[in-house]
């Protein structure tokens, strides 16, 4: 029989609901795609994801092997990486060589400050209600180490893709928001987090700084909205040319941007058409530029094509709603 407190608070008996960062991130990006992946209607797989999974597996093995000694773990990773899946072994070596060196560098620089590698962190976002258990958000962090004191943390996330993020993209990323919120929630002393995306294929980094005062409630709001969509099992679609171009659900999505669907269905004819269009555009520009050189700007409706008086020629000048005078030189 349950306690009196439990009978007064039936929600305390409901199982907590845990959402992983990547599922929430898919939902925050486009609920339709996230649901299609969850329901098994499409598979979210790619060569780069395989490289990432293989790499994480080896890092996990290395950490277990090192048993608290991260130098030993780094050496293990380097020694064992040659046994990675043969079809992706060269890329896995490139990524893990970077990570092994980075691990050694951080350990040498901050010995004793390392909080965890490949460590899972979780925090409660919503308390239990009458109809569901508490909502827990969870994320695995590649590397966390303490900063100059207990108010500062450094987080490193290793990326095996070719995308090169800007610092502002790093700050705006859902992953940054989710991980930083969990850390702020769980570690009450932490006031600032220095977040690094280490891009292993290009040996580059994107960086952003998160501050509790400025970011905590904004991040919480963003997570709550994603969780609400997830709890509703939403299949809303938010098409966007960039998102749709790499979405795994293009074949079944009625909302897909048409060009992105054509690209994903068969990339070769798409690229052939793009090359042909580019060649035609070059020829068209030559013709129009020759005319402008002799007769001056061409003005039609709100568009201006051509140069600006005696100033430098600006042939890419399709400026909607601007006159020739306020057009910016390029």
From candidates 243, 308, 319, 322, binder to ligand SF4 by CB under 6 A: 243
Q: Which residues pair with 157 in a beta bridge?
A: 197
How far is residue 224 from each of residues 87, 192, 228, measured CA to CA in Å?
A: 40, 22, 6
Phi, psi of 300 (to 5 degrees): -145, 130
Using the rule CB under 6 A, give the single segment among 46-54, 149-157, 226-234, 252-260 that binds ligand SF4: 252-260
244 binds ligand SF4 (CB under 6 A): yes
DSSP string across 191-253: -EEEEEEEETTTTEEEEEEEEHHHHHHHHHHHHHHHHHHHHTT-------HHHHHT-TTTTT-
Taking CB under 6 A as the criterion, the residue among 41, 119, 255, 308 binding ligand SF4 is 255
Task: Find, among 326, 294, 330, 299, the residue nearest to 313 by Cα.
Answer: 330
Work out how close the CB of 29 gets to ligand SF4 at its nearest, in angstroms, rounded to a whole number.
Answer: 7
Contact pattern from residue 125 through residue 154 relative to ligand SF4, giving x for each residue in contact according to CB under 6 A and a dash for the rest: ------------------------------
Size of the site for ligand SF4 (CB under 6 A): 14
The residues in 14-53 that bind ligand SF4, with binding defined as CB under 6 A, are 30, 32-33
* DSSP assigned state of 327: P
- Where do the DSSP E strands lie in the chain? 17-20, 114-126, 135-146, 152-159, 192-199, 204-211, 298-300, 303-305
Candidates 114, 210, 237, 304: give the one binding ligand SF4 (CB under 6 A). Answer: 237
Min dist. Cβ of residue 320 to ligand SF4 (A): 26
The minimum distance between CB 262 and ligand SF4, in angstroms, equals: 12
Strands 152-159 and 192-199: parallel
* Least distance from ligand SF4 to the Cβ atom of residue 37, Å: 10
Binding site for ligand SF4 (CB under 6 A): 30, 32-33, 237-239, 243-244, 247, 249-250, 253, 255-256
């Amino acid at each position: 029989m349950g306690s009196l407190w439990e009978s007064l608070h039936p929600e305390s008996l409901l199982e907590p609901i845990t959402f992983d960062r990547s599922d929430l991130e898919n939902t925050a990006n486009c609920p339709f795609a996230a649901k299609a992946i969850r329901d098994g209607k499409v598979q979210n797989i790619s060569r780069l994801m395989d490289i990432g999974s293989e790499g994480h597996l080896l890092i996990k093995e290395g950490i277990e092997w090192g048993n608290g000694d991260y130098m030993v773990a780094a050496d293990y990773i380097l020694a064992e990486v040659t046994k990675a899946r043969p079809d992706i072994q060269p890329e896995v070596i490139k990524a893990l060589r970077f990570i092994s060196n980075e691990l050694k560098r951080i350990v040498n620089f901050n010995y004793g400050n390392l909080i965890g590698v490949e460590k899972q962190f979780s925090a409660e976002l919503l308390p239990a209600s009458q109809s569901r258990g508490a909502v827990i958000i969870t994320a695995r962090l590649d590397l966390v180490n303490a900063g100059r004191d207990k108010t500062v943390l450094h987080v490193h996330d290793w990326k095996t893709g070719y995308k090169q993020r800007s610092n502002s993209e790093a700050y705006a990323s859902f992953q940054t928001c989710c991980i930083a919120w969990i850390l702020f929630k769980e570690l009450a002393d932490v006031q600032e987090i220095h977040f690094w995306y280490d891009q292993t294929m290009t040996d580059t980094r994107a960086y952003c700084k998160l501050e509790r005062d400025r970011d905590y409630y904004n991040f919480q709001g963003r997570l709550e909205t994603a969780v609400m969509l997830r709890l509703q099992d939403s299949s809303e679609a938010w098409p966007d040319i960039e998102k749709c171009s790499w979405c795994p659900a293009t074949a079944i999505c009625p909302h897909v941007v048409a060009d992105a669907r054509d690209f994903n269905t068969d990339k070769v004819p798409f690229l052939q058409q793009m090359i042909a269009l580019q060649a035609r555009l070059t020829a068209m520009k030559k013709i129009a530029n020759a005319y402008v050189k002799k007769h001056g700007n061409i003005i039609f409706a709100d568009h201006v094509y051509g140069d600006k008086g005696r100033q430098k020629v600006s042939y890419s000048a399709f400026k909607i709603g601007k006159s020739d005078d306020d057009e910016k030189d390029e």
